[in-house]
Amino acid sequence: MKKTISIIALGILSIASIGVVMSSSEWSEREDDHQDGVFRDAWLESRADVRPAENPAYQSECGGCHFAYQPGLLPGKDWARIMDTLVEHYGDDASFDESQAAEIRGYLLDNAADRAKLSRARAFSAGSDAGDGLPRITNTRYFKREHYEIPARIVRGNAEVGSFSNCQACHRSAGAGIYNEHQVVIPGFGKWDD
């Protein structure tokens, strides 16, 4: 009888300890990937830490010339400024027809960093230090904090990357809104995991 009880107790203990191990690894995963309340679903489905840009007009009009930066990468006031200045869009005329511009503006503002649910996008809502030019994701406080260790020579001086604006050159899953550092591969230099 004593033996049976101790076997049962051992069984319960080992199940409990597996539970502890699982939940702690889940927790570190969660810290790591900036997941939040929707962690469980996001982990199972996509592990996105910024909501992917799924608006078709945004994808075709803006994503036609450059990476379709997710709305969660800038606060709403910055997106509004960009939409107000499309004729002088970082040195080029990027204007397009009124009805599409209105749709895209609405999409960007509704999903901007200050309205976002995923925590990495929320981090971008801190915005930028005062600057005189157009808003830039690469100029936000959060972006700078995350990239200050990366030497310019392996980005700007790297023909396959060229610029910090070229997210998906190193963040291979950037299109899916996944920016965690474990999937960063810098062309010609390999993984970057600090």
Q: Which stretch binds other proteins (CB under 8 A): 65-73, 104-112, 113-121, 141-149?
A: 65-73
**Using the rule CB under 8 A, is 163 a contact of other proteins?**
yes
- Please name which of 42, 128, 146 lies closest in space to residue 81, comparing C-alpha atoms: 128
Cα 22 to Cα 162: distance, rounded to the nearest angstrom: 41
Cα 133 to Cα 42: distance, rounded to the nearest angstrom: 35
**Using the rule CB under 8 A, is 169 a contact of other proteins?**
yes
Toward other proteins, which CB reaches closer, 137 or 161? 161
Site for other proteins in 93-132 (CB under 8 A): 93, 96
**Using the rule CB under 8 A, is 67 a contact of other proteins?**
yes
**Using the rule CB under 8 A, is 12 a contact of other proteins?**
no
Q: Which of 92, 106, 172, 191 binds other proteins (CB under 8 A)?
A: 92
Cα 108 to Cα 63: distance, rounded to the nearest angstrom: 13
Q: Which of 46, 59, 119, 166 binds other proteins (CB under 8 A)?
A: 166
Cβ within 8 Å of residue 179, ≥6 positions away = 49, 50, 120, 167, 171, 173
Q: Which stretch binds other proteins (CB under 8 A): 30-38, 42-50, 137-145, 158-166?
A: 158-166
CB-CB contact of 191 with 184 (8 Å): yes
- Please name which of 57, 65, 56, 136 lies closest in space to residue 101, comparing C-alpha atoms: 57
Binding site for other proteins (CB under 8 A): 64-67, 91-93, 96, 161-163, 165-166, 169
